[in-house]
Each structure stands twice: as structure tokens, then as C-alpha cells.
A and B are shown apart, each in its own frame.
Chain A
Amino acid sequence: MNDSDPRTTTPLLEVSDLKTYFRTERGTVKAVDGVSFSLQRGQSLGIVGESGSGKTVLSRSIMGLLGRTNLIREGSIKFNGQELMGLSVKEMRSIWGQEMSMIFQDPMTSLNPVMKIGRQIAEPLMLHLGMNKSEARLTAEKLLTDVRIPEPQRRLNQYPHELSGGMRQRVMIAIALACGPTLLFADEPTTALDVTVQAEILHLINEQRVDRNMSLILVTHNIGVVAGNTDVIAVMYGGKIVEKAPTKTLFSSYKMPYTEALMRSIPKLRQASHTRLATIPGRPPDMVNPPLGCNFAPRCAYARPKCLVEEPGLTVTENPEHVYACFYPVGSPEYHERKLELSQRSDLLSTGGQN
């Protein structure tokens, strides 16, 4: 939000109580279940969470890119003050590519394998900006230069399979940036890449965001990736945002026991080897039959009976940007009480649990 334009009064994106359900043979999958947040222009938001927590569905739901069959989508999505909910696909098309665009996880599958790179970049340029072929080609070449692809002119005539993974991801970024969108979604943009390449891609995305004063929603399961690249982080669990805070705040003073467990279960380079990792027992909730109360309660070491029956709402901390959904957050008296109990018990069971 440091980069946000002070003159903007309304946020670029305002999502409130967004629900996205899928009707399936098993029942209704509540993939996104009441998510609200807002994003200023130029700001970057990181969304983290375990696999299946609804990150991808959330970002696609906001963009309106989900298929129409068996979908239930409710709530409100305001983009630049305009309500997107209820817009027809036709109306959305003018927003896609121009106003919002997206980078996908797997660069191998996200480019059309049988179409030349040049055409794939030129397509939105010709469609939205009304460029003719040669203009689009020139622009495409410039875009490739922007994403630091060597020999851009030659690349335009190549097919995706002739490029390496990192290159392809750069092409994707070039396509996403082509029409100068104001909001960029990046869904796990580096998961399929090697670490050495990942670093550069992240750098590139951030650099372009700053240059173009775009907002960014960066979706990932790797907390490390969001730590250095976003202004605000939202933690998702079971289709809900369970905690949201400015990056630094989140790392220094998380409130959700889930956030804590997540942080502590990740091996860190700075820790000595053989440092025992904290674990979260069990597995993420079934989104068809989510638990009654707090989604995390069945796995939460600090859960109390109340958590199992009542769903916690979002609580705002002293920092208005920092919200969480927990009855007994980290630092609360009940939290400390239970923590003490647990440490005593683990002394007794020092032979070591299996988890």
C-alpha cells in the first residue's frame, strides 16, 4: 500500500462475502466460502494456504473465469467501483486482458502448444487495442524485451515447446502485461520452476508491477515467496481467509494458531539441521462437509468446545489492516494455558509421536 495512489479514494478491488460453490456428484464443494478483502491500486496481495484451500478458485472467481455449469457464485466484487458480479461473459471480455489479467501456474500447459508465440502475444493487442498485425508484432517484440527475453524477434516465430520453462513463464507475463492491465493475478507463477529461475521470475513480476503501477494478487502455497514480494498477506484455510495482515505484521505477530502452525512446520535454512519441525495433525477439511465451527478446530491444538460449534468471525486487531478469525488467538490467555498443558504432555510422551 506504500505504492498506492493517495488520490484513489475507492480501492481498486473490493470483494465482499464472496462465495463460490461447485455442485458435484459428492455434494456441494464450498471452495470459497465468504471471503472479503479490498485491494488498493499498486498494492500487492499475497494469498497463501495449503493445497485445496481455495486460492485458485478465489482468484478465478474474482476474474469470473470459472465455467458456468454447476457453479454457485455469490457476493460482491467491485472493480474500480464497477460491480462485476452478474456481468455477462460478453461484458467481462472487455475487462479480461485489458483491466485484469492472469499468469498461471504451469508454463508448460498455459501456452497454446500449436500457436506461435508471436501470435499468442499479438492476439489480445489486436483484439483490445485494435492494433493491426505489424503494430501488434512490434509491440509484442517490445514486450518480450521488457520481460528480458533475448533475441525477441526470433522468439516470436517459435512455438512454446522450443522455449525453456523459465522463458515460457516470461512469455506468459508478457501476454498478461500486453494490454496494460491494472490488476494482475499470478497463481503459483513459480511452482513449476527451478529455484534459481523462480527467483528471477518473482523479481520480474515485482519490477513490472512497480513500473506499471499495477496491483498484484500473488497466489502461492510457499510462504517464502510472498514474504519478500507482497505488501499484504492473506492466509486461506478451508475456503476462508483466516488471517490477513501487512506482510511484516503477519510474520512478527500472527494471531491465528493456524498461521503459527504453518510457519513452524516449514523447515528454514537458518535453523540448524535436525531441528524438530512442528506439525499439524490430520488433513485439511473436506469442503463438501466442512466442520461445524471453526474449520481449523479439528486440527487445532488450542481448540476448545466453542470452536467446534461456533464459527469465529473476522476480528480486527489494533492495526486495522490486520484481521483474523479465531476465538482464542495467539497471545490470548486461553492460548497460553493450553500451550503449557501441551508442553507438559509432550514431556510425558517424549518417546515421540508419529506426526
Chain B
Amino acid sequence: MAGTGKAHLRNSPDVLLSVNDLVVEFPVARTGLKVNAVSGISFDVIKGETLGIVGESGCGKSTTGRAIMQLPAPTSGSIDFNGQELTTLSKDEMRDARTKIQMIFQDPISSLNPRRKVRDIVLEPLLVWKRGTQEERDILVNRILEDVGIDPQRAAESYPHQFSGGQCQRISIARSLVLDPQMIICDEPVSALDVSVQAQVINLLENLKAKYGLTLIFIAHDLAVVKSISDRVLVMYLGKMCELASSDDLYARPSHPYTNILVDSIPEPDPEVIYAPTAVMGEPPSPINPPAGCRFNPRCPNVQDRCRVEEPEMREIAPAHFVACHNPLTY
């Protein structure tokens, strides 16, 4: 499992973003080795859809998100956004294209400049692009700040550190909204937040998505969170894809052994649910030297000889349910 392939790509005119064979490698300083952060993944997102991406730490989720923004540009692969190939754009064209895709980061504090007033942070994109008159800009910024639940008055006179983590995350969201993007990539936007605040932000994203007609990519390592917000979920493992399905389907019937383990491992806040996770061997290997064949094979309970040599491709195991595994769990 944990493989490549494109069987799951849709051929719909509504596809807003289509990622093909995305590969991102980082050189390891001083050694000449490289980190295979993302090794050939493909997916697409339809307008208005929310795609969730889950996986363990270091499996390349953030790298994927950033590669779409060309921050940094991927090693290879194509990224087609609204008919525009992002990987071949010039610097200026890319600047332009970036306004249509925005990103929200995990750390609400580090994503805001500590030395600028909150309102200026939200206003900044409009100034960069010289959009509207000053009056129009003021109106827009105030409206968006109110939409995310921040008092514009206070925003005008306060710095980020005067807000709580949840509020900072909302400010980030506001900033990403002012340029009226078509798509927002959320890289673990709630992982650093407390449970009670986490729900606030998730609900806010759901609301804004409806209100502004957004398409979302939602990255998180917490399956329950991803499931709660996504239409479809992509499971990643060590830079490869494992499984892609609609969220309810995925949790109801995980077909990839890794997805299954992941689902199993989550301690449910319910004492009635007997918590007996499937034992999994060891921990994820290093992406510097990933295993041959299926990348999950060293830890897979269902491993076969074939998995050690041949890399599985994504295939449709049930309608709209794709899995990259030679030996999937029965559906």
C-alpha cells in the first residue's frame, strides 16, 4: 500500500485543483542525502469540496500543502489550478496566482507578525495588490473581521500577542479571506488549540466555506477532526497515498491496513467503546531511506512478499473508494 497511481482522479469540469505525481525532496545538509518528503502523490479537488489529508507526523502533509503554493516549488509533478499549470509560472504570475489560493498555518502565533497591529495584518494583502480605495478596503476588512468574530476596533489597536490562540487563528483566517480566494489550504489549523477553541475554529471554517463559496484542503493528524469537516479524506503514509474515500465511507470501512490501524488507535471518548487497538509494529521509518515496495510493508500486519518489492497503485475498491494496497481488507 502506500503507493502511487491516478485511478482516483476525476475528470469533471468542476475540478478546481488537480495535483499529479507530486514529488518533493529536500537535501539533507552536509550529507548529500535527501529527504523524500512527498514521493508521487496525485489528487484533485472539486469546487466547493473539502478534502481532508491525514497521516502521522512527518508523512508529508504540510509539504504537499506548501508545494501547491510553490513554497517551495516541488521537485517534479504538475499542479493544475483552474486550468493554470502552477509549476511553470514565472515569479510574477505566481504572485498573482497565489492570491487565489491561500494557506492557514498550524501555529496561530507564528503566522502573525508580532510587531504589526492585527488590523494592518489583515489589510496588508489589499495594500500589496492595491485593491480598492481606502474606504472600500476599510469596509471590507471590518466586515471580514466581524465575520471571523474579531472586534475591528480592538484589532486596530492591538498586536497579535494580545489575542488568544483561537483568536489569532481567526485573524489568520481573516487575512486569507480578504483577497477573495477560491481555495484555502488549512495546515493543521486547530492542532495547537484547546478542544473548546478547536470547535470554534472548525465551526467558523464551515460557516465561512458556505458564505464565501470556498474550496478547502484541510490537513490534520487528528482523524476525528478531519472527518468532521471533510467531504473526502486522503490518507498519507511516508510521502505516499494509502487511501482516498468519502469521509464517512473511510471510517466505516477502512480498507487499507494502515487506515484501519489509524482508526483503531484513536481513543474514543466513550468508556463503552472497548479500546483494543490493533498492534502495529514499530514506528514510521525515516523518509531519508524509505523501504522498497509498499512503504508501509515493514509495519503491516498483512504483509506479503509482493509488498516488499512491488509498489501498489491506487485502485477503486468500491465506488469512489480508492486504495493503494495489494492486499486490502475486505470491503
Complex contact B267–A203 (CB within 8 A): no
- The 8 Å CB contact of A283, one of B147, B164, B221, is B164
Q: Which residue of B lies closest to A223 (CB)?
A: B269
Complex contact A194–B284 (CB within 8 A): yes
- For A158-201 the 0/1 string (1 means CB < 8 A from B) is 00000011110000000000000000000000000011111110
In the complex, B166 has a CB within 8 A of chain A: yes
Q: Which of chain A's residues have a CB closer than 8 A to the CB of B227?
A: 267, 269, 273
Complex contact B56–A195 (CB within 8 A): yes
Complex contact A166–B195 (CB within 8 A): no
- The 8 Å CB contact of B228, one of A197, A200, A275, A284, is A275
In the complex, A263 has a CB within 8 A of chain B: yes
Size bin of chain B's contact surface: 35 or more
**Known contacts A248-B271, A262-B196, A354-B204; is A274 also within 8 Å of B228 by CB?**
yes
**Known contacts A275-B228, A355-B203; is A203 also within 8 Å of B196 by CB?**
no
Complex contact B267–A271 (CB within 8 A): no
Interface size on A, residues (CB 8 A): 51
**Known contacts A196-B262, A200-B279, A354-B149; is A266 also within 8 Å of B267 by CB?**
no
Complex contact A196–B196 (CB within 8 A): no
In this complex, the member of A202, A203, A269 whose beta carbon has the largest number of chain B beta carbons within 10 angstroms is A269
Complex contact B263–A355 (CB within 8 A): no
Q: A83 CA to B197 CA in the complex, in Å?
A: 39
Complex contact A265–B267 (CB within 8 A): no
- For B248-290 the 0/1 string (1 means CB < 8 A from A) is 1001000000000111111111111111010110011000000
Complex contact A269–B283 (CB within 8 A): no
In the complex, A153 has a CB within 8 A of chain B: no
Q: A277 CA to B229 CA in the complex, in Å?
A: 10
In the complex, A348 has a CB within 8 A of chain B: no
Complex contact A195–B269 (CB within 8 A): no
- The 8 Å CB contact of B57, one of A194, A203, A251, A263, is A194
In the complex, B157 has a CB within 8 A of chain A: no
**Known contacts A227-B271, A273-B248; is A265 also within 8 Å of B199 by CB?**
yes
Q: A203 CA to B275 CA in the complex, in Å?
A: 9
Q: Which of chain B's residues have a CB closer than 8 A to the CB of A281?
A: 200
Q: Which residue of B lies closest to A50 (CB)?
A: B194
Q: A280 CA to B229 CA in the complex, in Å?
A: 18
In the complex, A340 has a CB within 8 A of chain B: no
In the complex, A278 has a CB within 8 A of chain B: yes
Complex contact B228–A277 (CB within 8 A): yes
Q: A352 CA to B147 CA in the complex, in Å?
A: 10
**Known contacts A196-B262, A196-B265, A224-B267; is A267 also within 8 Å of B228 by CB?**
yes
- The 8 Å CB contact of B275, one of A165, A223, A227, A262, is A227
- For A226-255 the 0/1 string (1 means CB < 8 A from B) is 011100000000000000000110010000
Q: Which of chain B's residues have a CB closer than 8 A to the CB of A272?
A: 248
Complex contact A224–B203 (CB within 8 A): no
Q: Which of chain B's residues have a CB closer than 8 A to the CB of A269?
A: 223-224, 227, 251, 263, 266, 268
Q: A224 CA to B266 CA in the complex, in Å?
A: 8
- For A273-296 the 0/1 string (1 means CB < 8 A from B) is 111111111011000000000000
Q: Which residue of A lies closest to B211 (CB)?
A: A352
In the complex, A82 has a CB within 8 A of chain B: no
Q: How far is the CB of B173 from chain A (nearest CB, A)?
A: 11
Q: Which residue of A lies closest to B202 (CB)?
A: A277
Q: A269 CA to B196 CA in the complex, in Å?
A: 17
Looking at chain A's contact residues, the main secondary structure is: loop
Q: A200 CA to B279 CA in the complex, in Å?
A: 7
In the complex, B84 has a CB within 8 A of chain A: no
Complex contact A274–B229 (CB within 8 A): yes
Q: Which of chain A's residues have a CB closer than 8 A to the CB of B283?
A: 164-167, 194, 196-197
Q: A289 CA to B163 CA in the complex, in Å?
A: 17
- The 8 Å CB contact of A355, one of B194, B200, B262, B268, is B200
**Known contacts A166-B283, A265-B199; is A51 also within 8 Å of B273 by CB?**
no
Q: Which of chain B's residues have a CB closer than 8 A to the CB of A355?
A: 149, 200, 203-204
Q: Which of chain A's residues have a CB closer than 8 A to the CB of B197?
A: 280, 283
In the complex, B4 has a CB within 8 A of chain A: no
In the complex, B231 has a CB within 8 A of chain A: yes
- The 8 Å CB contact of B194, one of A203, A221, A225, A229, is A221
Tell me which residues from 61 to 84 in chain B have a Cβ below 8 Å from any Cβ of chain A.
none
In the complex, A261 has a CB within 8 A of chain B: yes
In the complex, B99 has a CB within 8 A of chain A: no
Complex contact A266–B280 (CB within 8 A): no
Tell me which residues from 195 to 231 in chain B have a Cβ below 8 Å from any Cβ of chain A.
195-200, 202-204, 206-207, 221-225, 227-231
Q: Which residue of B lies closest to A249 (CB)?
A: B271
Q: How far is the CB of B222 from chain A (nearest CB, A)?
A: 8
In the complex, B142 has a CB within 8 A of chain A: no
Q: Which of chain A's residues have a CB closer than 8 A to the CB of B164?
A: 283
Q: A171 CA to B224 CA in the complex, in Å?
A: 30
Complex contact A196–B280 (CB within 8 A): yes
Q: A280 CA to B193 CA in the complex, in Å?
A: 13
Q: Which residue of B lies closest to A248 (CB)?
A: B271
In the complex, A90 has a CB within 8 A of chain B: no
In the complex, A270 has a CB within 8 A of chain B: yes
Q: Which of chain B's residues have a CB closer than 8 A to the CB of A279?
A: 196, 199-200, 203
Beyond A265-B196, A267-B199, 8 additional pairs, beta carbon < 8 A: A195-B265, A266-B195, A269-B224, A269-B227, A269-B251, A273-B231, A352-B207, A355-B149
List 4 A-B pairs, minimum CB-CB distance, nearest first. Answer: A228-B275, A354-B149, A224-B267, A267-B228
